Amino acid sequence: MDLQHVESDLDLDQTLFTEDQIIGRLQEIAREVEADYEGRDLLLVGVLKGAVMVMADLARSFDRHVEMDWMAVSSYGSGTTSSGVVRILKDLDADISGRHVLIVEDIIDTGLTLSWLVTNLRSRGPASVEIATLLRKPDALQMEVDVKYVGFDIPNAFVVGYGLDYAERYRNLRSIGTLAPHVYS
């Protein structure tokens, strides 16, 4: 869906990134990852549901083989603030012991979800665990976990589109925009 298909154009304040900008940046990240993981196998772990679009476009940007697996964890309910509570809704299919794992995320806000996830995956004995995220908000900079690949640093606003939702809507929007406060207040 494109912006013109959002019923009320008042729902979205501002487009932050167009589909072309997003895909262009993911291609740059893919080149960096290829250089860093040369000669090593690579397992991309996508975090459902938000990372679906990032995973699809990042994985297809590689000129090498990668494997994909998925985890689903709960962090946010249908609101716009982090609960800090993380629960596994779907675990990995793959055994990651001895493997190089790259977590693929849509957005890091407080970083609570991710630091929990990294600790959880590290306890399974992988060769390495790194993080790639399309978007990062300012609070994430205080995070103890090192994020190796960042698409874009964004201001502290609630954003939707390209996999990111508000109450399960807007995930299928091609671009990424900020949600007008009246939609969630």
Residues identified as active-site: 109
End-to-end CA distance of the chain: 24
The Cα 21–Cα 128 span in angstroms is 29
Binding segment (CB under 6 A) for ligand IMP, from list 6-14, 19-27, 32-40, 99-107: 99-107
Quote the tokens at residue 20. 């072309």
Site string for ligand IMP, 38-67 (x = CB under 6 A): ------------x-----------------
Q: Does 130 bind ligand IMP (CB under 6 A)?
A: no
Binds ligand IMP (CB under 6 A): choice among 17, 149, 158, 162: 158
Q: Does 159 bind ligand IMP (CB under 6 A)?
A: yes
Residue 113: count of CB within 10 angstroms of its CB:
22
Q: Does 112 bind ligand IMP (CB under 6 A)?
A: yes
Q: Smallest gap, in angstroms, from Cβ of residue 63 to ligand IMP? A: 28
Strand partners, 99: none
Q: Kindly write down the DSSP assignment for every residue of 93-144, as one continuous string.
A: SS--TT-EEEEEEEEESSSHHHHHHHHHHHTT--SEEEEEEEEE-GGGGG-S
Which one, 127 or 141, has the nearer CB to ligand IMP?
141
Binds ligand IMP (CB under 6 A): choice among 110, 124, 169, 180: 110
